[in-house]
Amino acid sequence: MGMDRKIERQWYQKRQVWWSAGGTLVIFLIVYLILTSDTQSRLNVSTERITISTVERGPFQVYIPLTGTVMPIRTVYLDAMEGGRVEAVIREAGSFVTLSNTSLLLDIMNREAQLFEQSNNLRNTRLAMQQNSLRLEGELLDLDRQIQSAKRTFEVSQQLYERNLASHDEFADARDQFEYLQRRRELTIETQRQDSLFRSLQIEMLEASVDRIQANLDVVRQNLENLYLRAPVTGQLTSLNAEVGESKVRGERLGQIDVLDGFKVRAGVDEYYIVRVERGLSGEFDLAGQTYELVVSKVYPEVRDGRFEVDLEFVGAAPVDIRRGQTVHIRLELSDLAECVLLARGGFYQSTGGRWAYVLDEAGEFAIKRDIRLGQQNPRMFEVLEGLEPGDRVVTSSYDNFGDVDKLVLND
């Protein structure tokens, strides 16, 4: 039985195995490096040059800061109701400014003359009507007497004519005279009626004219009275633009009176909030270590230079030492207090629009971009809707110098 013979491996075959093993190891090493290498763009940043804020949960309320000016609760303006020349100025409680107006005085004199003339016409017309009525009544009395006499003559002539004791001509004359007088009486009565209607209409028109002139005269006299510009309320005369000898036109503002029974605050608001600001919203401000509450009492819808105005009144008593024209810084509340996830405001919002932010890792060695979604805001905080949790640390300072890098490497 033959014996097996050991075959020796050639040296070049051993070398080939080592090359294969080494190549495989190199390939694995390259793949490992590719898989584990960081391909994100990065930027070294000093922590002293950035602001890092911690996300937290807490009470949140939307409010906007306003700068308001303290004003009297009510202001009454003094305007010239009639134009004229300033004759005198008296600065006292219930004081007045006296104006003179020559044209207005002449107008009053002319209207008074017209009123006197029309009043005389009315009196003369009434007198003429009375006199004509008396004259016609006298004519009727005379006609009635004549008619009675003519009737008796006619009746006698008729009887004599029927007995052939009077001629036909005598009877006809007596009859015609009697009938004539009757018709004349009827005509006189109709004339009196027509004249009475005419006179009544004439008197009615004259009375209306007198009333109209009297009413116009009253208006003109009231305008004359308006030349005495009196203070309509008790208050502080804070401005007066009237000097003796000046000419003022109708409607020109001469001054104002502040009613000091109370105060309000007028503030300007950015037009962005015009749909959210309405009557009844609450606000507050701090003064001398105390907080005072306000409520929006009036919203002025007119927008000027991108702002509109609101009036706020005090809830309760106003500060004792507050003064007209004083400036106060108000926090106007636009929502109720609620529990939310919050992030401090910062310059990052101008760069990202609140869509993403750099969030630190647990060790605080670097910060990586993360998509987030923010909601409402106030001057201090953003409401976080998505992407952040309480305890996360976020770079909230400006990103203007970071370019578009994915990772910030933080250095002390």
Nearest Cα residue to 406 out of 355, 347, 366, 364: 366
Looking at the predicted structure, is the pLDDT value of residue 113 above 70? yes
Whether residue 164 lies inside any domain: the answer is yes
**Using CA atoms, how far apart are residues 263 and 272, in angstroms rounded to an integer?**
27
* Domain shared by 136 and 207, yes or no: yes
Least confident of 14-18, 108-112, 366-370, 405-409: 14-18
Boundaries of domain holding 265: 65-79+260-333
Pick 124 or 54 by higher pLDDT: 54
CATH code, domain carrying 275: 2.40.30.170
122-154 per-position pLDDT tens digit: 777 777 777 777 777 777 788 788 888 878 887
Q: Is residue 344 part of a domain?
A: yes
158 has a pLDDT exceeding 90 = no
Q: What are phi and psi of 158, to 5 degrees?
A: -65, -45
Q: What does the angle CA 308 – CA 284 – CA 61 come to, to the nearest 5 degrees?
A: 85
| One domain for residues 111 and 154 | yes
Residue 218 above 90 pLDDT? Answer: no
CA distance 258 to 335: 34
Last residue of a domain, one of 206, 225, 244: 225
Span 245-250, mean pLDDT?
A: 66
At residue 161, φ and ψ (nearest 5 deg) are -70, -40
- Cα 83-85-91 angle, rounded to 5 deg: 100
Strands (DSSP E) found in 278-403? 282-287, 290-304, 307-314, 327-333, 338-344, 356-360, 366-371, 373-377, 381-386, 393-395
Q: For residue range 295-345, what is the model confidence (pLDDT) as tens digits? A: 999 999 999 999 999 999 999 888 888 888 899 999 998 888 889 999 999
Does the residue 152 lie in any domain? yes
pLDDT of residue 166 exceeding 80, the answer is: no
Instruction: Report yes or no on 264 lying in a domain.
Output: yes
Q: What is the largest CA-CA distance in the chain?
A: 217
Closest among 59, 62, 58, 50 to 394, alpha carbons compared: 50
Asked whether residue 296 falls in the same domain as residue 385, the answer is no
Side-chain-side CA neighbours of 312 within 13 Å: the count stands at: 30
- Kindly provide the residue ranges of all beta strands, DSSP E only, lying in 95-235, ordered along the sequence: 96-100, 228-230
Q: Point out the domain boundary residue: 318, 333, 348.
A: 333
- Does the residue 216 lie in any domain? yes
Cα 358 to Cα 365: distance, rounded to the nearest angstrom:
12
Q: Is 74 inside any structural domain?
A: yes
Report percent pLDDT > 90 for the chain: 28
- Residue 33 host element (H or E): helix 11-36
Q: Are residues 191 and 132 in the same domain?
A: yes
pLDDT at 360: 94
317 and 398 together in one domain: no
Look up the CATH number of the domain holding residue 130: 1.10.287
Q: Is the pLDDT of residue 1 over 50?
A: no
Q: Which of 275, 308, 333 delimits the end of a domain?
A: 333
Is residue 255 assigned to a domain?
Answer: no
In terms of pLDDT, which residue wins out, 268 or 201? Answer: 268
Residue 361: the pLDDT is 93
Domain count, the chain: 3
pLDDT class for 185, splitting at 50, 70, 90?
confident
Q: What is the pLDDT of residue 336?
A: 81
Residues 355 and 327 both lie in one domain: no
Residues 354 and 320 in one domain: no
CATH code of 391's domain:
2.40.420
3-state secondary structure of 329: strand
**What separation in angstroms does the CA of 313 have from each of 277, 279, 310, 360?**
15, 11, 10, 46
Q: Do 69 and 137 fall into the same domain?
A: no
Query: Closest by alpha carbon to 324, among 66, 74, 65?
Result: 74
Same domain, yes or no: 49 and 74: no
Q: Which helix (H) or strand (E) holds 237?
A: strand 236-240
Spell out the residues 6+ positions from residue 69 whose beta carbon is closer than 8 angstroms to its own: 265, 266, 267, 325, 326, 327, 328
pLDDT in tens, 340-364: 999 999 999 998 999 999 999 998 8
Give dist(CA 292, CA 1) in Å, integer: 119
Calculate mean pLDDT across residues 86-111. 58
Residue 241 lies in a domain: no
- pLDDT tens per residue across span 271-280: 988 998 999 9
What was the pLDDT predicted at 279? 92
Highest mean pLDDT: which range of 52-61, 79-88, 94-103, 225-234: 52-61
Does this model's pTM top 0.75? My answer is no
Average model confidence (pLDDT) for the chain? 79
Question: In this predicted structure, what is the pLDDT of residue 93?
Answer: 44
Burial 297-311 (b: 16+ CB within 10 A, else e): eeeeeeeeeeebbbb
